[in-house]
A and B are shown apart, each in its own frame.
Chain A
Amino acid sequence: MVVKFWGQEFKVNVILGCLGGFLIAIVSSMFGFGGGPFMVPLMTVGLGLPMYVVVGSSLLAIFFNTMMGTMRHYQFGNFDLVFFAIMFPAAILGGFIGPQIAKRVSPIAMKRIAVAGLLLLALNLLGVF
């Protein structure tokens, strides 16, 4: 598959991407984790895509999984409406503000932000905090 972005063409091995996504989803859903943070390195390092395309596409990829997980939690009754009502406007706002910032930030900086996020998650998993 060829991905076009800002006048450049990127050749992407879709099979590799789907296989990677499949494996990541298996592994992260074993313990109730969202696959999001693993998807970003897959696309940048594994598929060689520029960061700008990666952010939107990875959000799209994990969207379906998150939706299924949401329905599952809802059926198990783990949902507090008031709590959700507090965080819901913040989430929507975040979804609007985020891309506005992404537009103005260089791809290098965006990648470094993602690196920071990954490191935070890694430290969390390793028990540092």
Chain B
Amino acid sequence: MKKGTMEMKYYLWLLIMIIIAIGISFPPNDLWAQKALDARLGPEGKAGQVLAAKAGEPTGPTAMPVTIQVDKTILNNGGTITVSGHAAPGQPVYLEIWSEKKVRASRFDADVDKNTGKRPYVLCMTDEMPAYYQIYVPQDQKGILDRVKKEGPGWSLTKVLKDLGAEAVCSVPLQAKIDQYQASLMGSIIGSRGELLPIMDKKENARRSMQLLKARARKPEKLIVSAIEMAPDGAYHAQVKIPDGLVPGRYSIVAIAGGDPSRSQPVHIENQIHFPNIYLANAGTSLNLIGPFFLSLGIAIFGVLMGAGGGFMLNPLLVSLWPLPHTIVAGTVMPTVLFSQGTGIYNYSKIKFINWKLGSAIGLAMVAGGFLGPKLTELITLDQFKFVFGWILIILASLMFWQTTPRYLSKNKKEQAILKEFKKKAEETMKKK
């Protein structure tokens, strides 16, 4: 009998190795997609150049050049800069601020398309989204921003910029080269990106880049800040706050005067961070690595002790404590939890706190269920789901707690026996000491 279970363990590890090997041997579609894209573009060059906006030249005949200056050019992990300058009197002034370092932004479009009534399942991805991007607008437009905040998660960036008269302000993200992939529902479950679609026209690219900006920022107040004070003679100034924990490197600030959009020359700032703050290249933010290390240590211990992964606690905590984008957090927490589970399984098997047959049987049933789940997202909304399962968990937790009460234990002989055995073992170890 023992020999049988030993063999089972080895087969299981073999299965795991095979799954990992398959997962690794499908390289992220990056390599193929880049080659396909380059082949498509041919000698005309990258799409980004076609869409680049011209900067620095005043347009109409009566346009006055917009000036800009800053009070400091070096920041130590964030800080406040006073930006000031001059524009034509009576025109609103906006600031476009972006970091030189770019980061990947992606968005999986699975919402029902209003025109066709179907879900497109298109993955939009770019590697050229500025890691830090903000638009500053005049203070008197605060009312518009407050109204947008109340709209909730369905707000539209394009609409907000229109309401603010700032359509021409957003230019840097529009230059990002965005790839679109046509994915299938099954493909999204196993993680295949799907087929690369043809390059979009300027308008569609602009629309997609707005969506990606919004997906990365999530809340309007993270992208748009109303803080520019305007004087009647056309002078303006603003306190630009660069929070800590953001991307290091060069930042550029450009002032744009509304109405007839003329842009100032860009001003450059250097944001420096020092160890133990380090820069997370894919997330586009930096953080002090001591915090997350101890947090994930504590949660890993708790999760392994509990028999669950710990991801359900690590995820919201990481997002709320540090300025990390939630998609990167979700994607990085999962492999972390995977390894804590793996070492937990290994160590539990050493003390025999595990049953291989049961665990793997249920495990395979779960994998089957995992394929089915994403197809059914249309049946229930997230809020309903949260409400129902919040309460189900409370009921289950109370049932489990009831199992620890003395009344239950007195009726359940087996649990009593295990408890006795535990006490015996505890005494034995005490005696040995």
Contact = CB atoms under 8 A, between A and B. Distances in A.
Contacts of A21: 362-363, 365-366, 369
B404 to A, nearest CB: 5
B6 interface: no
B386 A40 contact: no
Instruction: Please give me the 6 A-B residue pairs with the lowest Cβ-Cβ distance, nearest first.
Output: A94-B300, A95-B343, A78-B331, A56-B354, A25-B369, A98-B304
Contacts of B125: 77
A45 B400 contact: yes
Interface of A: 1, 3, 5-8, 10, 12, 14, 17-41, 43-45, 50-84, 86-108, 110-115, 117-127
Interface stretch (B45-53, B168-176, B186-194): B186-194
Given A24-B366, A86-B293, A50 B190 contact: no
21 contacts: A8-B414, A21-B363, A21-B366, A24-B366, A25-B367, A29-B369, A30-B377, A52-B353, A55-B353, A58-B308, A61-B363, A66-B311, A71-B23, A73-B334, A82-B278, A89-B293, A92-B339, A93-B297, A98-B340, A103-B351, A127-B386
A81 B365 CA distance: 31
Nearest to B190: A72
A73 B336 CA distance: 12
Interface in B326-349: 327-328, 330-349
Given A95-B344, A121-B313, 7 more contacts: A6-B418, A30-B373, A78-B332, A90-B300, A99-B347, A112-B401, A124-B312
B409 to A, nearest CB: 8
B414 A36 contact: no
A60 to B, nearest CB: 3
Contacts of B112: none
Nearest to B421: A6
A35 B298 CA distance: 20
Contact of A59 (B190, B348, B357): B348
A106 B403 contact: no
Contact of B363 (A63, A80, A102): A63
Nearest to B409: A108
